[in-house]
Amino acid sequence: MTRRSVARAPAKAILLGEHFVVSGTRAVSASLGLYAYAEAEELKLWPSEIVSIELGLRVTIPGPDLSYSGPAELQPIAAVLRALRARDFDIPAFRLTIRSEIPDGAGLGSSAAASAAAALALAGLVGSDMSRDELFMVTMEGERVAHGNPSGVDPVTVVNGGVILFRKGDGVIDRHERLEGVSLVVADSGIRRSTMGPVSSVLSLLERLGSVKRHLLSAVDEIVGAAWESIRVRSFERLGMLMNINHGLLSAIGVSTPELEEIVYAARRAGALGAKLTGAGLGGSVIALAPFGSEGAVQEAMGRRARWATALYAGVQGASLISEA
């Protein structure tokens, strides 16, 4: 019988601290109820194949050394496969099919989710268990190829799931299973961008700030810490206010756009307690914290200015194997 294995990993949203987290502040992120799926199927002979349904790509991996010379979009997945092999996972000839509900380039962690699902599916094919740490490290290899200088917040979130207080180097500092008592509305502006561009322009702006950099980072870290406490005690008005301040700082460092501002203000006018861009910015998505009962109005107001807007479950289970045979 042909061996087969299917895994999935969730999207993520950064609730506070993006960009600044690359320079050492804490960040808060949550897994979202939107998924990337990977199906691995054992083949009798090499070459192997990687198929991406959404990207419309089908690439060939000629042999067990996993060398790859295909399109850049699938390079992160190839890096994940090599990271698995470097950890002594004995990968047979395979067909790996990736399909995803998570839009690419929208700040919702599509690349990390696809990498984590791919790694789990392939490990499942050979019946190997992976620890969360091991899955994080392998997924991080894909993120390095996709983003250059990642803090690790995306892979940590899609691998572990939940609502996470994160710091680069430390990983998960604290974690809640889910965001309870309030709704998270996500709107995709439809404007696509890479993560690498905004990350490097923010890093160079921070360098040019001189001593102001230290104060700015310390203010953001303080805001993130206060937000984590607000989540713990369910003080959502305070959390919303802190998200608004965080958005103002992201705007100040140049990663907002008039389109994102329109969505943010529409959400606030419709009753959101807080609204901000999420992820690298310069396009991508906006999140809003909506009290129960007002999520419909917030979603509609954001949706009129975005490609789509929807309330998503925040704090779903992390990457998992769905089936193996």
Residues that bind ligand PMV (CB under 6 A): 14, 18-19, 21-22, 107, 109, 147, 150-151, 153-154, 195, 199, 279-280, 284
Cα angle for residues 254, 229, 13 (degrees, 5° grid): 45
Tell me the closest approach of the beta carbon of residue 96 to ligand PMV, in angstroms.
22
Complex with ligand PMV: residue 195 or 256, whichever CB lies closer: 195
Complex with ligand PMV: residue 19 or 268, whichever CB lies closer: 19
| Start-to-end C-alpha separation, the chain | 9
With CA atoms as reference, report the closest residue to 104 among 205, 37, 174, 193: 193
Tell me if residue 221 is catalytic: no
Complex with ligand PMV: residue 84 or 102, whichever CB lies closer: 102
Nearby residues of 233 by Cβ (< 8 Å), 6 or more positions away: none
Complex with ligand PMV: residue 105 or 296, whichever CB lies closer: 105
Find the helix or strand (DSSP H, E) in which 157 lies. helix 153-160
Tell me the closest approach of the beta carbon of residue 61 to ligand PMV, in angstroms.
26
CA dihedral (121, 133, 151, 177) positive or negative: positive
Tell me the closest approach of the beta carbon of residue 196 to ligand PMV, in angstroms.
9
Tell me the closest approach of the beta carbon of residue 256 to ligand PMV, in angstroms.
13
Which residue is catalytic, options 129, 154, 188, 221? 154
Tell me the closest approach of the beta carbon of residue 18 to ligand PMV, in angstroms.
4
Complex with ligand PMV: residue 150 or 274, whichever CB lies closer: 150
Q: Which residue is nearest to ligand PMV (CB)?
A: 279
Tokens encoding 84: 């698995």
* C-alpha R_g of the chain: 20
Q: Which residues pair with 30 in a beta bridge?
A: 13, 163
Cα 88 to Cα 155: distance, rounded to the nearest angstrom: 21
Q: Which residues of 94-133 are buried (b: 16+ CB within 10 A; e: fewer)?
A: bbbbbbbbbbebbbbbbbbbbbbbbbbbbbbbbebebeee
List, by residue number, the catalytic residues. 154
